[in-house]
């Protein structure tokens, strides 16, 4: 019996089979969970196609975390497939090109606002939309988000770095306000992974070079599974009293001087 036997998970952010979210869904199924995916717009057909590579077929519900109607309808859409949720994976992030690549001092507020809404505020939006399915007398549930260490001003990461700092702070406030309902909120700070989204970030190759040099145990940018395993563990009952935490899965780079 797997560590997620009988649990129901909502997983966002599955776009390719290289994404961390895809491997969270795959490992969760292997550990006994039922999985529902989300996607929207032009990415919806891509998510449906990639979902076919999971061990077991899964439903995909439409969700744009910036759309109030989508958020209001999420619980009903998910409940068509599972009666409750035991966990939600937040794997969502976006910043306009003007907010990345060394334009920090020139980025205008509308683009900064987009980065903050999609990449930080959406953690609160998604959690609250799923909350009716996650709570109940005697129940516990787990929200897990993916971050990139926001304690450092990374080269060219710019306003996405600011958004990640807001994201990490949001997770702590959610943990504070939802703990009494049995909801744990934790993040996994992964090292750089060669996903489509990551490769679109200017300077991604600089991250790869730095991680190769600084990680004491080594780091493979083409292997999303270590970060995915941490997410699965946080969804399990093996972390019953862990909340407001950030688990680093980065080969140890966060703790090593450059």
Contact 98, 112 (CB under 8 A): no
Q: Which two tokens stand for residue 224?
A: 């999303």
CATH number, residue 137:
3.40.50.720
Q: What's the predicted TM-score (pTM) here?
A: 0.97
DSSP assigned state of 192? -
Both tokens of 2, joined, read 């797997």
112 to 79, 115, 163: CA distances (angstroms): 34, 5, 8
- Which of 143, 92, 144 has the alpha carbon at shortest distance from 122? 92
Give the whole-angstrom CA distance, residue 189 versus residue 142.
16
**pLDDT per residue as tens digits for the range 84-123:** 999 999 999 999 999 999 999 999 999 999 999 999 999 9
Please, are residues 114 and 164 in contact by the beta-carbon 8 Å criterion?
no
DSSP collapsed to 3 states, 21-58 = HHHHHHHHHHCCCEEEEEECCCHHHHHHHHHCCCCCCC
The pLDDT value recorded for residue 5 is: 98
Please check whether residue 2 lies inside any domain of the structure. Answer: no
- Specify the pLDDT at position 205: 74
* C-alpha span between 108 and 128 (Å, rounded): 29
SS3 190: strand
Query: Radius of gyration of the chain from Cα atoms?
Result: 17
Domains contained in the chain, number? 1
CB-CB contact of 244 with 171 (8 Å): yes
Q: Is there a domain that residue 118 lies in?
A: yes
In a domain, 258, yes or no: no
29 lies in some domain: yes
Q: Is residue 164 included in any domain, yes or no? A: yes
Rounded CA separation 230/235 (Å)? 9
Sheet of 60-62: strands edge to edge? 60-62, 34-39, 8-11, 87-90, 141-147, 183-190, 245-249
Asked whether residue 215 is domain-assigned, the answer is: yes
pLDDT value, residue 199: 63
The ranges of the chain with pLDDT < 70 are 196-203, 257-258
**Structural domain of residue 68, as residue ranges?**
8-253
pLDDT of res. 207:
75
CB 223 within 8 A of CB 131: no
Domain membership of residue 159 (yes or no) is yes
The answer to whether residue 1 is domain-embedded is: no
């Amino acid at each position: 019996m797997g560590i997620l036997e009988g649990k129901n998970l909502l997983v966002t952010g599955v776009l390719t089979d290289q994404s961390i979210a895809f491997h969270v869904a795959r490992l969760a199924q292997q550990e006994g969970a039922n999985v529902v995916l989300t996607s929207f717009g032009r990415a919806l057909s891509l998510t449906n196609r990639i979902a076919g590579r999971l061990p077991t077929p899964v439903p995909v519900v439409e969700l744009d975390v910036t759309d109030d109607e989508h958020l209001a309808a999420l619980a009903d859409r998910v409940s068509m497939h599972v009666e409750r949720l035991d966990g939600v994976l937040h794997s969502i992030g976006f910043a306009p090109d003007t907010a990345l690549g060394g334009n920090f001092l020139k980025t205008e507020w509308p683009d900064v606002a987009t980065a903050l809404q999609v990449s930080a505020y959406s953690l609160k939006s998604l959690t609250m939309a799923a909350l009716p399915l996650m709570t109940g007398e005697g129940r516990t549930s787990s929200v897990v988000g993916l971050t990139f260490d926001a304690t450092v001003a990374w080269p060219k990461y710019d306003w996405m770095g600011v958004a990640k700092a807001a994201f990490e702070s949001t997770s702590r406030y959610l943990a504070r306000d939802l703990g009494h309902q049995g909801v744990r909120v934790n993040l996994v700070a992964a090292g750089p992974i060669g996903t489509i989204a990551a490769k679109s970030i200017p300077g991604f190759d600089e991250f790869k070079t730095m991680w190769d040099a600084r990680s004491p145990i080594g780091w493979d940018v083409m292997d999303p599974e270590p970060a995915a395993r941490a997410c699965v563990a946080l969804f399990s009952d093996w972390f019953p009293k862990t909340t407001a935490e950030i688990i680093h899965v980065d080969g140890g780079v966060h703790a090593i001087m450059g």
